[in-house]
Chain A
Amino acid sequence: MTNIKKLAQLVKELEDQFVVCIRCGMCQSVCPLFEQTKKEADVARGKLALLDGLMNRMFSNPEGASERLNRCLLCGSCASNCPSGVNVLEIFIKARIILTEYKGLSRTKKIIFRNILSKPKTFNRLMKWAGHFQGIFTKKNKNSQGTSCARLISPLLSNRNFMPVATEPFHEHLPKLDTVSSRSRLKVAFFTGCLIDKIFPKIAKDCIDVFHYHDIGVFIPENQGCCGIPALASGDLKTFEQLVEHHVDLFENNSFDYLITACATCTSTIKKLWPAIYKGNQNRVQNFVEHLSEKTLDINQFLVANIKIDSSHTDGDTDKEIVTYHDPCHLKKSLGIFKEPRQILNASGIKLIEMESPDKCCGMGGSFNLFHYDISSKIGTLKYESIVKTSCKTVATGCPACMMQISDMLAKNKSNINVKHPIELYANNLKSKEGLDKD
């Protein structure tokens, strides 16, 4: 019953939000998907018209509309270029929830999301299992991204270069942490996020090292899970709510100044989608989610705002490593963060060379990549081409999902360019300055 009430409320909110679209079509100029397919149903204007049709009961069968709504990278390029300020992402997410509730989840997704994602312990166990056994399924490619081709299952996966699951996820390396700072008195909570925990644990380790170096207290509660975006993107409200509430329990009774993540997608989900979905609930969870949203910062943004970062890079230093930076959609377009990662890079002893359209979407789009790998790769190839043109040695980006996509594209093209998070480069530089071991 409560669910039906919630749904009705969502439909109402949705309607108020999508009438704002004036059908000007300006989103066509920036939608990476439309650029490939030239189909109006792939761009925001078309999808909003579809929703309008759905709400007016134009379709007896919502399947077709929902399939089209799911063909979207949720990159937010449209929203950031929209003259009318249509909150496209929130609308699409809510629409997916409504449609999913309406249709019931598909069987496979039900199993994945309800049983695995919503119970962090099971998820961790499963991923660990996969980590130990991946050697059987995949062979290590000798390339600098450390991806491995899914050898046995590759017909199924169209030669995707999967990032291997780390043998030791971050939460095993460091299950929990609670330190205080001696001088700065600053304390942060760290939200690891699935991809960093399981695929890029080194980023989390570097973050912790950077916090220590700058004398910042860190709180990491045990048993963290997923921020909920995969569930939300497939319209699974129940799993999403379980995840949010799980984290509210973990963080609620602890004091910290900021909640930091190194994952652009987690940051924008916690900052924007958590409060958007809980809006109007007026209960303990809603209150805390609002509060947390205000405290949540991307790691680059946090460092630039709170630590004196020396980003006065010296030009003409020719022997420095050339690095280019890709703007994750969820940092630049969702949160307006694009200066800070560059400041961090400029303070990392490298030479930053910009690529053409650094803020163009890489084509990952979460599950979009899984279901529409062909188009996703075409978009990714454009990114690959602009990266290569910079003659860089490393491409940096602040989102592990983008890192996976870019690694896949580079590996496919047999490139030797490394893919790193800005924090990895920053930490590396600190360590080399300190004369510590680099890794």
Chain B
Amino acid sequence: MIDHFLVDEFENIVGLPYVLTDIEDMVTYSYDAAVLDPVTPLAAIMPGNSEELGQIIKICNENNLPLTIRGAGTNLSGGTIPSATGIVILTSRLNSIIEINKQDMYAVVQPGVVTATLSEAVEKKGLFYPPDPGSQAVSTLGGNIAENAGGLRGLKYGVTKDYVMGLEFFDAAGRHIKTGSKTVKCATGYNLSGLMVGSEGTLGVIDKIILKLLPLPSHRKSMVAVFNNMEQASETVAAIIANRIIPATLEILDNFTIRAVEAFSNAGLPVDAAALLLIEVDGHPAVVQEDGEKIETLCRKLGAVNIKIAANDQERDKIWAARRSALSALAKLKPTLVLEDVTVPRSRIPDMVKALQQIAKDFKIDIGTFGHAGDGNLHPTILTDKRDVKEWKRVEMAIEAIFEKALAMDGTLSGEHGTGLAKLPFLEKEVGKATIAFSQQLRKALDPNKILNPGKVTGIF
């Protein structure tokens, strides 16, 4: 139970309808998209502006009340599973696009703006915000920054961190901190934006965001290459990059995923193919033309049995609809879906894919693999039913095996989904004890009352 005085105080700040404490509502803020056990918070608060947000944080700090910030709650690592003795702060009402500046090519937004809403708004002005996580129709920009979200265009355009020019955030004491600026360059003070990106709500609460925008590419070309074995497909990925071509997108689907997508959407995919590469190049028309042709030649040389080039926008949309439906198609096969995001140096993609197939066999579980082959980021997707206790045990062991393989290849546990609670037990293996201790010290110094999303990323400190 939360103290009545505190509830009154919160209600005075944000207004009665925006403080929720009923158990039924708490249940709806007890989870995110990670397959982890839910935890119900004491209250959920929906501030309507910066001042309200700052005041709430201050009260939490004065009362040692843990707080978890929640954007859309789509993260896959347990980052918004709250503390049972804490509250949840929702950013859904902090959702205005404050400015889109065409001349200086930046946007200023509140943290609750939905990613796709911003992309659409800037595209209407001929500008481009490249980070496009699969969840962009619902995910918030605050959540994207706090997770350093990636997307399909990561290979050429990078990830969220590459677009953060400046931030305003509240620290644990509710002080308002500013970092970065609207200028392309900025060298004053520490690069605190860099620290906040990927901090998963543990170092501060993001309140305002300045994002870099690009000119919208004028031309694009998409194609699908069909391979009869995985090695050839992976070698092609490496060869494209070795030839100094950087496609905007370079995605891979394995046979399991191809079959699932085809069963789901009848898109006409070759169900016998071992792998598909989906490729898009964009930019100046001459470059698009040239790169497109080079890629086609490479694919053929390295064993592609068929290459289809999208002749128009409709065909292009069809290619990407197939890729985007991968997760849906897999999700329909079994009740529980565990979406991993191990990432390896791209030259190791063939080894990693092979290892995943072996792990699926060893542990007798279904794994469909697709992902951003171009940047080494795979999404092995485990299909299971959590209610089947025995199988779930095998799934947990398989996940561990996947992590071990990735680390052995100089890879990382997570390319884009974050640490949260899910990867916490494995973090030490990747970064070592000292790194965790350093991070804990940082938190201790910045958040002595331990109120900011306790338990996430570094564990209890």
Contact of A286 with B by CB under 8 A:
no
Contact of A46 with B by CB under 8 A:
yes
A38 close to B137 (CB less than 8 A): no
**10 extra A-B contacts, CB within 8 A, seeds A23-B32, A50-B28, A83-B331:** A20-B335, A24-B135, A40-B28, A50-B27, A58-B23, A58-B27, A64-B22, A68-B24, A83-B328, A84-B337
B30 close to A49 (CB less than 8 A): yes
Minimum CB–CB distance from A63 to chain B (whole Å) comes to 9
* A residues near B31, Cβ cutoff 8 Å: 23, 49
B137 close to A26 (CB less than 8 A): yes
Q: How large is the interface on B (under 10, 10 to 19, 20 to 34, 35 or more residues)?
A: 35 or more
* A residues near B90, Cβ cutoff 8 Å: 38
Given A24-B135, A25-B135, A59-B23, verify A85-B28 contact (CB < 8 Å).
Answer: no
B92 close to A49 (CB less than 8 A): no
Considering only residues 1-55 of chain B, those with a C-beta below 8 Å from chain A are 20, 22-25, 27-33, 38, 46
Q: Is the interface of B mostly helix, strand, loop or mixed?
A: loop
Q: Whose C-beta in chain B lies nearest to the C-beta of A21?
A: B335
Q: Whose C-beta in chain A lies nearest to the C-beta of B112?
A: A38
A41 close to B28 (CB less than 8 A): yes
A26 contact from B20, B92, B138, Cβ within 8 A: B138
Q: Whose C-beta in chain B lies nearest to the C-beta of A53?
A: B27
Contact of B332 with A by CB under 8 A:
yes
Contact of B74 with A by CB under 8 A:
yes
A40 close to B73 (CB less than 8 A): yes
* B residues near A53, Cβ cutoff 8 Å: 24, 27
User: In the complex, A22→B28 CA distance in Å?
Assistant: 14
* B residues near A28, Cβ cutoff 8 Å: 72, 138
Contact of A19 with B by CB under 8 A:
yes
B137 contact from A29, A64, A68, Cβ within 8 A: A29
* A residues near B135, Cβ cutoff 8 Å: 24-26
Minimum CB–CB distance from A30 to chain B (whole Å) comes to 8
Contact of A65 with B by CB under 8 A:
yes
Contact of B336 with A by CB under 8 A:
yes
* A residues near B244, Cβ cutoff 8 Å: none
A24 close to B74 (CB less than 8 A): yes
Contact of A103 with B by CB under 8 A:
no
B138 contact from A29, A39, A41, Cβ within 8 A: A29
Minimum CB–CB distance from B417 to chain A (whole Å) comes to 13
B332 close to A84 (CB less than 8 A): yes
* A residues near B386, Cβ cutoff 8 Å: 19
Minimum CB–CB distance from A59 to chain B (whole Å) comes to 7
User: In the complex, A251→B33 CA distance in Å?
Assistant: 47
A49 close to B28 (CB less than 8 A): yes
Minimum CB–CB distance from B362 to chain A (whole Å) comes to 25
Q: Whose C-beta in chain A lies nearest to the C-beta of B92?
A: A38
Minimum CB–CB distance from A267 to chain B (whole Å) comes to 25
Contact string against B for A residues 46-88, beta-carbon threshold 8 Å, 1 for contact and 0 otherwise: 1001100100001100001100100000000000000111000
Q: Whose C-beta in chain A lies nearest to the C-beta of B95?
A: A38
A25 close to B327 (CB less than 8 A): no
A64 close to B33 (CB less than 8 A): no
User: In the complex, A24→B35 CA distance in Å?
Assistant: 10
Contact of B93 with A by CB under 8 A:
yes
User: In the complex, A29→B116 CA distance in Å?
Assistant: 10
A25 close to B24 (CB less than 8 A): no
Contact of B387 with A by CB under 8 A:
yes
Cβ contacts A to B, 25 pairs, < 8 Å: A19-B335, A19-B336, A19-B385, A20-B335, A23-B31, A23-B33, A25-B33, A25-B135, A28-B72, A28-B138, A38-B90, A40-B28, A40-B29, A41-B25, A46-B28, A50-B24, A53-B24, A58-B23, A64-B22, A68-B24, A68-B25, A83-B325, A84-B328, A84-B332, A85-B332
Q: Whose C-beta in chain A lies nearest to the C-beta of B325?
A: A83
* A residues near B336, Cβ cutoff 8 Å: 19, 22
* B residues near A25, Cβ cutoff 8 Å: 32-33, 72-74, 135, 138
User: In the complex, A58→B90 CA distance in Å?
Assistant: 23
Minimum CB–CB distance from A289 to chain B (whole Å) comes to 26
* A residues near B332, Cβ cutoff 8 Å: 83-85
Q: Which of A25, A41, A64 has the most CB of B within 10 A?
A: A25
User: In the complex, A29→B115 CA distance in Å?
Assistant: 11
* A residues near B114, Cβ cutoff 8 Å: 29
Considering only residues 255-286 of chain B, those with a C-beta below 8 Å from chain A are none
Minimum CB–CB distance from B438 to chain A (whole Å) comes to 33
Q: Which 9 A-B pairs have CB atoms at the shortest separation, nearest pair first?
A: A83-B328, A46-B28, A38-B92, A29-B137, A40-B28, A84-B331, A64-B24, A25-B74, A28-B138
Q: Whose C-beta in chain A lies nearest to the C-beta of B30?
A: A49
Q: Whose C-beta in chain A lies nearest to the C-beta of B334?
A: A20
Minimum CB–CB distance from B92 to chain A (whole Å) comes to 4
